[in-house]
Amino acid sequence: MADAWSLLDLGPAEYTSVLDLQHRLVRKRVAGAIGDTLVLVEHPHVITLGRRGEEANVLHAGAIPVVRVERGGDVTYHGPGQLVAYPVVSLAARGVDLRRFVRDLEDTATEALARYGILGRHIEKRPGVWVDDPVRGERKIASVGVAVSHWVTYHGIALNVNTDLTNFQRINPCGYGSDIMTSMAEQVRQPVVFEEVKEAFAECFAEQFGAQLTPADPGEAGDGWPGGEPVPSVEEDGPARGDRLPQKAG
């Protein structure tokens, strides 16, 4: 029997606001006040740096905000046309280790891509989902970066659907050159219906994680989100995150 999960489909939503929502959900999941939850969102333009991200990998952010966050990994870009999934999951309750959880996220994206005839794959020691582009060679189509507090996960996976790949030229994504990135639209040579990809991803996630996803209200789940009192970071071993960095020229 599938486990009961809440599905929060935020549509387009600003990054730091959704980071605040994740912090709220993590604290409630740690306290046992809610069950496991999947958040789906499309962010406006933002660049994020993980715990050990090198600021030198932000080449020319311009007007795009740069935010330091708690997740693993280096630097990445989020923006319109990209589907981002944030599972808030108790690993302890599921008896699953973090490595397995990350692989399950990658496999979810791989299965969703397969529905569009795109062959994604896992590469050992290179997190994310990769494809072999017949013209451009090996390319990355989805990026993974997670964080854990008291064995509850947050952050997650970003799948490039109709993403404008020129925005990756502003960074060295995950330490690679900007041309390493691709999208579903680039692979199938035409734009893809975003809402259909979201639905496919949710179905594949439910299958991969044994989840019964039930739509829920983000405001109720997040104690009045958006708004209310700010919630500090759930980072356990460092200063509060979610801070915007000074902008570089360019």
Q: Map residue 233 onto helix, strand or coil.
A: coil
213 within domain boundaries: yes
Domain span at 57? 3-244
CA angle 108, 171, 119 (to 5 degrees): 30
Whole-number Å distance between alpha carbons of 202 and 196: 10
Residue 9, φ and ψ in degrees, nearest 5: -95, 105
15 within domain boundaries: yes
18 within domain boundaries: yes
Q: Are 158 and 243 spatial neighbours (Cβ–Cβ below 8 Å)?
A: no
Residue 237: predicted pLDDT:
39
156 within domain boundaries: yes
Tokens of 28: 């409630």
249 within domain boundaries: no
**Catalytic status, residue 174:** yes
Local confidence pLDDT in tens for the 250 residues of the chain: 679 999 999 999 999 999 999 999 999 999 999 999 999 999 999 999 988 778 888 888 889 999 999 998 889 999 999 999 999 999 998 887 999 999 999 999 999 999 999 999 998 888 899 999 888 889 999 999 999 999 999 999 999 999 999 999 998 887 777 788 999 999 999 999 999 999 999 999 999 999 999 999 999 999 989 875 555 556 543 333 454 444 443 3
Whole-number Å distance between alpha carbons of 236 and 77: 25
Q: Map residue 197 onto helix, strand or coil.
A: helix
Q: Which of 8, 142, 174, 192 is catalytic?
A: 174
Please state the domain count of the chain. Answer: 1
250 within domain boundaries: no
33 within domain boundaries: yes
CATH number for the domain spanning 140: value is 3.30.930.10
141 within domain boundaries: yes
Residue 230: predicted pLDDT:
55
